[in-house]
Amino acid sequence: MSSEKIKEDTTMTTTPAEDAPALVKKIGRTTYIVRVHFSKTTRKP
């Protein structure tokens, strides 16, 4: 691996709600954060 620093793209198109549910899972040295969004405008078929 090179000595270059890896920059992560943290730009988000939408701002998550503060009370949005999230699942945090750490695998090795990587932490995954999964946020769930439920739309209020969708309809059931």
Q: What is the pLDDT of residue 7?
A: 52
> Residue 43: CA atoms inside 13 Å, Cβ hemisphere, count?
1
Q: What is the pTM of this model?
A: 0.40
| Per-residue pLDDT at 39 | 81
CA angle 42, 10, 24 (to 5 degrees): 70
Q: What is the pLDDT along the chain (45 residues), one digit of tens a residue?
A: 455 555 555 445 455 556 667 889 999 999 999 988 778 887 877
